[in-house]
Amino acid sequence: MENQEQQASAADVLTQAIANKLDYLSTLQAAVQHGDDRQVYELLDQARYYQEIKKTRAARTVNHLAELVDNIHPQISHYLSDNLIDYLGHVYPFFYYEEYTTGRFHIYFGNWWDRRLFGDLDVVSVRFNFDQTEYQKLQQSFELEAQHQRLNTARIEQISSESEALQKLMDAQSVRDNQKTQLREQLKENSQKSSMPWDTSKIKDERQQIVDQLTELADQDEKALNAHKAIKENDDKILVLSKEDTILNYEKQSIRDAFDDFEHFEAHNQSLYADYLNSLIGKSEGGVKTND
Amino acid sequence: MINENDPSTLTTSGRLLNYNEAIKSGLETGLTFTKLMDQLIKTHDADELVAAATQLADFKLDSDYVTFPHQYSNADYYLLFMSRMLELHDQGKHVMVQSRDHHEELTQQLTPLGDRGTFSFRVETSENGGVFYRERATGQSLFYLNLDRKMFRFNSHALTQLFIIDLHDTVPADTVKASVQILVDFARYLKEDYGYSVDFNVLDAANQQNYAVRSADLPAGVVDRLFVAAAKNEYMLTNGVNGNGAQIQLDRNVVVDIFNNQLEGQPEWVLTVHDDDQKVSWFDILLRYPFMRDWYLENLDDLEIVSDPLIFS
């Protein structure tokens, strides 16, 4: 008897648990059917919703119901992306998104030539996952702006002066050729000097000096010989760097146009979830229903 | 047996008759020539003009028995033909034909350009036939014309060398534009009135014109250089609409695209110029935008627009 009761209550508990799940799923289903993205977001992460939107601690205990739909996140993301990207298009007019596989989105910064792949958009969490390397370059170039510098200014200058030195080396070929002729003359004279024992070391020193100078000139000749190629390689390096500077400049300008400065941009990114959901609440309160 | 072709078998009077016939036919040729010349110089009918020019283009005035010591070359008839054709379209004033004092030879100047360019035709001696329109000082052949085959081909290399490089510092862009327009008009009349096959090349202002660049597989660095240069000049090189190239919006809705025209297989990079009125060609872009000109010339090895390879090699 007791056993039976236990059995019955166990069934009740399970039935209730299943009912909770069914209830969760049917609520979610209805929200999708009514195009109520706000509710979908609430159901996907109630704790976050209560904390960031209702500004209260989540009243209910954590129920893990959202885990029920973990394996259909790509479809959910695909569904939610429509309205989210629409919204983002207004706030971040310089970001472009590409759904490279169902529900997963690459972020591109700008529509200029060779714009950068800037990270991923996490639609379910309403969050940008920026590529850290690219993001830091942007941040750094904002910092450098105060000093009227671009990210690659220093390196471009360094490579340019390297090229200039190489060019000088090439231009000075005839000067070196003259020097070599003179030095070889001196070498000849040196070897013809009668060598008194007390002079030997002096003549030897002199000879060594001339040989050293000739070696030095030969080294420069070799460098000059390869200079043309090296200058061309430097030009290619400078092109890559100026291109990056140009892209960063466009990125900075875009951020300034939309947010005034980098700090405001970052602040907006921080509050993106709350801002978006509040905009959805605002829409439904305004009586605009998309799905009737 | 009498063989008319073998003088040794003829009687004296027979020989004289033959001789007389040969002279008559030689004179006949001369008369035909003068009629064609009259026609070329005087006619007001464009059809007759083309007919005269086509016949004169390979006319042989001398025969075995009658030769004419003073002759213009066939190339000169082309020059006359060109100026008459323009004249019939009320553009006679746009070219000036000059004859040399001491021998029979014609040269031509384009009125806007004046003495900064002197032009004449040069007969192509190979089997292809036809003539090249050359600037005499630089030797640049701006276009090829073949009346028999009804062919007209502009030469991008020569147009660039002469007008975009050599005359760039001394002749204003508007003057160059007006001068080149005369050549374009001449080609246009041949195309529109006589169905010539014309390659306007860099001068083609039609939006659908694809200007193929020399490096069909264009190195990415070339486009990067335009990107950096454009930014320095307050223009932005954007991703192309079709996603496999780049685009730059210039002034007055003029858009230049550079892209790979082949989505599969061998790449074929091309330039296009779009504008609302289809009046702007790649040549115009080079004239109007110094940074585009610099970019084109600095990368000419890769970017030079391809001309008809069968004519210009």
Distance (Å, whole) CA A208 – CA B12: 102
Last residue of a domain, one of B163, B185, B203: B203
Chain A interface includes B17 (CB < 8 A): no
> In this predicted model, what pLDDT tens digit does every residue of A50-100 receive, in sequence order?
888 877 765 556 678 888 888 899 999 999 999 999 999 999 999 999 999
Q: 10 Å Cβ neighbour count for A240?
A: 13
Side chain identity, residue A260: D
Side chain identity, residue A196: M
Could you say which of B224, B238, B239 has the minimum Cβ distance to residue A243?
Answer: B224
Phi, psi of A263 (to 5 degrees): -65, -45
Cross-strand bridge partners of residue A105: A99, A121
- B235: closest chain A residue by CA: A112
Ranges B71-80, B153-162, B191-200, B215-224, most confident = B153-162
Specify whether B116 is located in the same domain as B176: yes
Could you say which of A111, A239, A243 has the minimum Cβ distance to residue B239?
Answer: A111
What mean pLDDT value characterizes chain A? 86
Specify whether B223 is located in the same domain as B185: no
Q: Which of these, B269, B264, B272, B295, lies nearest to B217 by C-alpha position?
A: B269
Could you say which of A115, A236, A242 has the minimum Cβ distance to residue B228?
Answer: A242
Residue A37 confidence (pLDDT) above 80: yes
> In this predicted model, what pLDDT tens digit does every residue of B223-251 receive, in sequence order?
999 999 999 999 999 988 766 789 999 99
- Buried b / exposed e over B192-218, threshold 16 CB at 10 Å, is eeeebebbbbbbbbeeebebbbbebeb
Helix B74-88 to helix B173-194 angle (10° resolution) is 90
Those residues with Cβ within 8 angstroms of residue B236's Cβ, 6 or more apart along the chain or in another chain = A112, A250, B230, B248, B249
Ranges B26-40, B47-61, B227-241, most confident = B227-241
Specify whether B171 is located in the same domain as B246: no
Tokens of B209: 């014109």
Those residues with Cβ within 8 angstroms of residue B268's Cβ, 6 or more apart along the chain or in another chain = B212, B216, B260, B261, B262
Give the pTM: 0.81
Please state the rounded mean pLDDT for residues B168-186. Answer: 92
Specify whether B225 is located in the same domain as B147: no
* Contact (CB, 8 A) for B272 and B254: no
Asked whether residue B27 is domain-assigned, the answer is yes
Residues in chain B within 8 Å Cβ distance of A249: 231
Chain B interface includes A174 (CB < 8 A): no
Residue A220 confidence (pLDDT) above 70: yes
End-to-end CA distance of chain B: 57
The pLDDT value given to residue A153: 87
Chain B interface includes A96 (CB < 8 A): no
- Cβ contact, residue pair B238, A113, below 8 Å: yes
Distance (Å, whole) CA A230 – CA A160: 11
The pLDDT value given to residue A292: 38
With a pLDDT cut of 70, the percent of chain B lying above it is: 96
Please state the rounded mean pLDDT for residues A172-194. Answer: 81
Length of chain A: 292
Residues in chain B within 8 Å Cβ distance of A242: 228
What mean pLDDT value characterizes chain B? 87
> In this predicted model, what pLDDT tens digit does every residue of A242-282 receive, in sequence order?
999 999 999 999 999 999 989 999 999 999 999 999 998 88
What is chain A's Cα-based Rg? 36
ipTM of the complex as predicted: 0.76
Specify whether B123 is located in the same domain as B177: yes
Interface of B with A in 232-261 (CB under 8 A): 236-239, 246
Tokens of A165: 């030195």
What sign does the dihedral A72-A74-A76-A78 (CA atoms) show?
A: negative
Those residues with Cβ within 8 angstroms of residue B287's Cβ, 6 or more apart along the chain or in another chain = B163, B164, B173, B176, B177, B293
Residue A201 confidence (pLDDT) above 90: no
Number of domains comprising chain B: 3
Those residues with Cβ within 8 angstroms of residue B45's Cβ, 6 or more apart along the chain or in another chain = none
* Contact (CB, 8 A) for B117 and B92: no
Phi, psi of B124 (to 5 degrees): -75, 125
The pLDDT value given to residue A116: 86
Please state the rounded mean pLDDT for residues B80-96. Answer: 86
The whole domain housing B63 covers 7-71
Distance (Å, whole) CA B313 – CA B243: 33
Asked whether residue B312 is domain-assigned, the answer is no
Distance (Å, whole) CA B283 – CA B261: 20
Q: Which of these, B138, B145, B93, B103, lies nearest to B117 by C-alpha position?
A: B138
With a pLDDT cut of 90, the percent of chain B lying above it is: 38
> In this predicted model, what pLDDT tens digit does every residue of B277-297 receive, in sequence order?
999 999 999 999 999 999 999
- Cβ contact, residue pair A113, B223, below 8 Å: yes
Specify whether B182 is located in the same domain as B257: no
Asked whether residue B79 is domain-assigned, the answer is no
Cross-strand bridge partners of residue A98: A106
The pLDDT value given to residue A61: 61
Confidence band for B299, pLDDT divided at 50, 70 and 90: very high
Mutate to test the interface with A, among B222, B239, B244, B249 (most CBs of A within 10 A): B239
Those residues with Cβ within 8 angstroms of residue B298's Cβ, 6 or more apart along the chain or in another chain = B225
Tokens of A37: 């993205």
- B257: closest chain A residue by CA: A113
Distance (Å, whole) CA B65 – CA B23: 6
At which residue do the structure tokens 């979610």 appear? A28
The pLDDT value given to residue A148: 84
Q: Pick the more confident residue, A287 or A97.
A: A97
Last residue of a domain, one of B159, B176, B203: B203
Last residue of a domain, one of B71, B86, B107: B71
Distance (Å, whole) CA B16 – CA B31: 22
Domain assignments of chain A as residue spans, ordered by start: 2-130+260-285, 145-259
> In this predicted model, what pLDDT tens digit does every residue of A103-161 receive, in sequence order?
999 999 998 998 888 999 999 999 999 999 999 999 999 988 888 888 888 899 999 99
Those residues with Cβ within 8 angstroms of residue A227's Cβ, 6 or more apart along the chain or in another chain = A166, A167, A169, A170
Distance (Å, whole) CA A23 – CA A27: 6
Please state the rounded mean pLDDT for residues B248-265. Answer: 89
The pLDDT value given to residue A33: 92
Asked whether residue B313 is domain-assigned, the answer is no
Specify whether B59 is located in the same domain as B13: yes
Could you say which of B223, B226, B239 has the minimum Cβ distance to residue A115?
Answer: B239
Q: How far is CA A123 from CA A80, A96, A162, A206, A279, in A?
A: 7, 14, 48, 79, 16
Q: How far is B175 from chain A (nearest CA, A)?
A: 35
The pLDDT value given to residue A207: 80
CATH, residue B262? 3.30.310
Q: Pick the more confident residue, A142 or A187.
A: A142
Specify whether B199 is located in the same domain as B215: no
Longest dimension (CA), chain A: 131
At which residue do the structure tokens 């009243």 appear? A59
The pLDDT value given to residue B37: 85
Q: Which of these, A56, A59, A28, lies nearest to A44 by C-alpha position?
A: A28
Specify whether B113 is located in the same domain as B195: yes
Q: Pick the more confident residue, B11 or B272.
A: B272
Could you say which of A111, A115, A243 has the minimum Cβ distance to residue B228?
Answer: A243
Lowest mean pLDDT among A152-166, B62-76, B261-275: B62-76
Q: Pick the more confident residue, A50 or A290.
A: A50
Sheet holding B119-123, edge to edge: B95-99, B106-110, B119-123, B131-135, B141-146, B151-154, B197-199
The pLDDT value given to residue A290: 45
Asked whether residue B81 is domain-assigned, the answer is no
Distance (Å, whole) CA B161 – CA A75: 60
Please state the rounded mean pLDDT for residues B165-183. Answer: 92
Asked whether residue B89 is domain-assigned, the answer is no
Asked whether residue B88 is domain-assigned, the answer is no
Lowest mean pLDDT among A102-106, A210-214, A232-236, A285-289: A285-289
What sign does the dihedral A45-A51-A52-A55 (CA atoms) show?
A: positive
Chain A interface includes B69 (CB < 8 A): no
Residue A235 confidence (pLDDT) above 60: yes
Confidence band for A195, pLDDT divided at 50, 70 and 90: low
